[in-house]
């Protein structure tokens, strides 16, 4: 199984400042034949299901604000929120869909400082 490890576990950032969340996979999720990283990021607010933000490590889902961006390749990935808004308070998860079992990171709780 591919283990996904996120850091930090929790993060407090001031409004308007940058938030950065890291995700590391125990093996590469880069598929050589199409050069795509099988890595997604989700946002989960209390009482709600996960919401897809980023897929293929850096492709933004339709309707997601452009302050959200994803980067990285192979085993190391980053989700960046360029200017934190109040509505961004949530838990963020990375997920690999390179192989089964599909696995998620343990989550990073993002709060306002």
- Give the interface with other proteins as residue ranges (CB under 8 A): 38, 40, 48-52, 55, 61, 93, 95, 97-107
Three-state DSSP state, 101: coil
CB of 99 vs other proteins, minimal distance in Å: 8
11 or 97, CB closer to other proteins? 97
- Rank residues 16 and 47 by Cβ distance to other proteins and give the closer one: 47
What are the φ/ψ torsions at residue 94 (nearest 5 degrees)? -95, 155
Q: How many CA atoms lie within 13 A of 110 on its CB side?
A: 29
Nearer to other proteins, 60 or 67 (CB): 60
Torsion of CA 69, 3, 108, 44, to 10 degrees: 70
Closest approach, Cβ 94 to other proteins, in A, equals: 11
Shorter beta-carbon distance to other proteins: residue 25 or 95: 95
Question: Buried b vs exposed e over 78-113: b needs ≥16 C-beta within 10 Å?
Answer: bbebeebeeebebbbbbbbebeeeebebebbebeee
Q: Least distance in Å: CB of 54 to other proteins? A: 9
- We find the least distance from the C-beta atom of residue 64 to other proteins, in angstroms, to be 11
């Amino acid at each position: 199984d591919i283990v996904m490890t996120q850091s930090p576990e929790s993060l407090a950032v001031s409004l308007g400042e940058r938030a950065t969340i890291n995700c590391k996979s125990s093996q590469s999720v880069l598929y050589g034949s199409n050069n795509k990283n099988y890595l997604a990021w989700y946002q989960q607010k209390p009482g709600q299901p996960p919401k897809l933000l980023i897929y293929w490590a850096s492709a933004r889902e339709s309707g997601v604000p452009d302050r959200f961006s994803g980067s990285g390749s192979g085993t190391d990935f980053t989700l960046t929120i360029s200017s934190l808004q109040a509505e961004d308070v949530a838990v963020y998860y990375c997920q690999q869909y390179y192989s089964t079992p599909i696995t998620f990171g343990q989550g990073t709780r993002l709060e306002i400082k």
